[in-house]
Structure 1
């Protein structure tokens, strides 16, 4: 092949390559244009196009719609199944509300027992001890039968119209024997001032029963082993007349008051150890009890139920 023919063949190949490359470039350009047209954002008002363009990530972070509220009957049933403790708590609260409540008034307590009668703390009394058959432990103070027969009857002078009722006294002999007894009875004449008539069980702690009569000293005490006090309305009590008794008190009771529309009313004490509201004033309401040291306890919720011993949750302080 001549040189001229060779050159013409080379030029022809270059033209075919250029046409082919141009066609490829044209096709690429058309594809880009089509892509730009289809990817361009739609105009206003085309909601369907905007929703289609939202990324999937937005769907994951969107706030879910609230779940439908279950029917009331279903929620009540679920509570009943899953909250037995709530039912128990409600039952306990109702029982507590049914019990008498009691509080202290915060009144300053006197160490000198300014409200005491003849029997005063930190005072030693001299007398004699005798004995009697105490039976079931009841007596003039009308506390009723007692399980503990370490009890005694106080001479009329020191009994002081039932002010000695419920007092605890420590009795000693010259030989060093001792016993603590609770006053539940009155020892009339011929008992003399200072004399204690002890139950046979208590007397036996000091001497042989055959001794009959022994010299003693005794003094008021405030034992720490006493439980909470109770309140009782006397048989026949109503909202028109009532008599109220305090039982199981650590220290002698000096006063009892009932709350009336006009305020606190102090009741007189009968020699059979009940405080009387002869016109019914305050019967069935709150009661305020004061011991010889001036400590006051206010008790509420005592039902007007005659001859029923109703426990409280409080007690006077020990001295």
Structure 2
């Protein structure tokens, strides 16, 4: 009986040990699960993800607002990032709406430029006077309030080359007057003769004399006027007449710019330069005085019988 009792006790102790071991295993597994899914593990996982993202960002760094501020605050950086269009607009003045002009150029003067009336030459003749009316004449400058004008004799008028010329007239008494040529004195006016306005003649002699001997010469006077351009009535892009007004020195040539270059226009005795086929009408204009100075003018539209001022004038001589 004693031996049976001993076997039962040993078996009970083994069962108790096995149960205890099983309980320990279960407790260990529960502890492991708690550790695995606890808050500390989630934090570690988030920290690991954050570290991965930061590590990836280090490969392509992006400046923070604090890092970019000094660069944008730098004057040189500001200049580099400004709009090129705005910079160009600021650096360059706005274009004027007035007709544009180019720097004057000097070409070689020749006898063909000066014609019959030459600078520095004194001419002998006679002075008469006539009723100038509203001041208009063969040069077709239009009515004027300027009473110091004259008509040039047919020969020296030379198909309107004398138009606009300033002439100093001297009488034998020593009196003198400066007049501007606005008209032609037709034949039988002789070479050297000037037909003056009554007011101009009165500065040389008593009107009762009617006719006096004179000498005269070309002037290049001081003036505040600038050249103006006028297209003749009826002008269009198919046909046009062009006239220059207010030039200090007599004109030798008027040219218009065409697709094939500058084209000289023929001058009429009524002081317009004609483009009968419309070539260059409305384009740039180039005028040359008898001293060889050239002025280029652009921005003049074909506006018949409208005086269009420019910003240019020939030099004084």
Measured against aligned partners, the alpha-carbon deviations of 1:257-285 in whole angstroms (never above 9, x if no partner) come to 00000000000001100000000000000
RMSD of equivalent CA atoms: 2.6
Structure 2 residue 211 is the aligned partner of structure 1 residue 237: no
Instruction: Give the match for residue 142 of structure 2.
Output: 144
Which range moves more in the overlay, 237-246 or 100-109? 100-109
Structure 2 residue corresponding to 1:299, chosen from 297, 305, 309? 297
SS of 2:241 mapped into structure 1: strand
Instruction: Give the match for residue 183 of structure 2.
Output: 185
Cα contact 2:107–2:294 (8 A) shared by 1: no
Instruction: Give the match for residue 314 of structure 2.
Output: 316
Q: Matches of 1:280 and 1:256 in 2, distance apart?
A: 15
Instruction: Give the match for residue 249 of structure 1.
Output: 247
Q: Matches of 2:282 and 2:300 in 1, distance apart?
A: 7
Q: Matches of 2:228 and 2:177 in 1, distance apart?
A: 25
Cα contact 1:114–1:293 (8 A) shared by 2: no
Instruction: Give the match for residue 268 of structure 2.
Output: 270
TM-score after normalising by structure 1: 0.70
Instruction: Give the match for residue 206 of structure 1.
Output: 204
Q: Following TM superposition, by how much is the alpha carbon of 1:106 offset from its aligned partner in structure 2, in angstroms?
A: 2.5
The count of aligned residue pairs is 239
Instruction: Give the match for residue 284 of structure 1.
Output: 282
Q: Matches of 1:226 and 1:139 in 2, distance apart?
A: 23
Instruction: Give the match for residue 66 of structure 2.
Output: 63
Q: Following TM superposition, by how much is the alpha carbon of 1:113 offset from its aligned partner in structure 2, in angstroms?
A: 6.7
Instruction: Give the match for residue 162 of structure 2.
Output: 164
SS of 2:105 mapped into structure 1: coil
Q: Which runs of 5+ in 2 are unaligned?
A: 1-46, 51-64, 70-88
Measured against aligned partners, the alpha-carbon deviations of 1:215-247 in whole angstroms (never above 9, x if no partner) come to 000000000124101000000000000000000
Q: Following TM superposition, by how much is the alpha carbon of 1:174 offset from its aligned partner in structure 2, in angstroms?
A: 1.3
SS of 2:311 mapped into structure 1: coil
Provide runs of 4+ in structure 1 moved above 6 Å.
Answer: none
Q: Matches of 1:222 and 1:180 in 2, distance apart?
A: 11
Q: Following TM superposition, by how much is the alpha carbon of 1:103 offset from its aligned partner in structure 2, in angstroms?
A: 1.8
Q: Please list, as runs of the form range in 1=range in 2, the aligned pairs for 1:122-137 lying within 5 A after superposition.
A: 122-137=120-135
Structure 2 residue 195 is the aligned partner of structure 1 residue 173: no
Q: Matches of 1:302 and 1:120 in 2, distance apart?
A: 31
SS of 1:153 mapped into structure 2: strand
Instruction: Give the match for residue 21 of structure 1.
Output: none
Q: Please list, as runs of the form range in 1=range in 2, the aligned pairs for 1:2-151 lying within 5 A after superposition.
A: 63=66, 93=94, 96=96, 98-108=97-107, 110=109, 115-151=113-149
SS of 1:202 mapped into structure 2: helix
Measured against aligned partners, the alpha-carbon deviations of 1:32-80 in whole angstroms (never above 9, x if no partner) come to xxxxxxxxxxxxx799xxxxxxxxxxxxxx93887xxxxxxxxxxxxxx
Structure 2 residue 199 is the aligned partner of structure 1 residue 196: no
Cα contact 2:153–2:186 (8 A) shared by 1: yes
Cα contact 1:136–1:149 (8 A) shared by 2: no
Q: Matches of 2:254 and 2:128 in 1, distance apart?
A: 32
Q: Following TM superposition, by how much is the alpha carbon of 1:146 offset from its aligned partner in structure 2, in angstroms?
A: 1.3
Cα contact 2:141–2:182 (8 A) shared by 1: yes
Q: Which runs of 5+ in 1 are unaligned?
A: 1-44, 48-61, 67-85
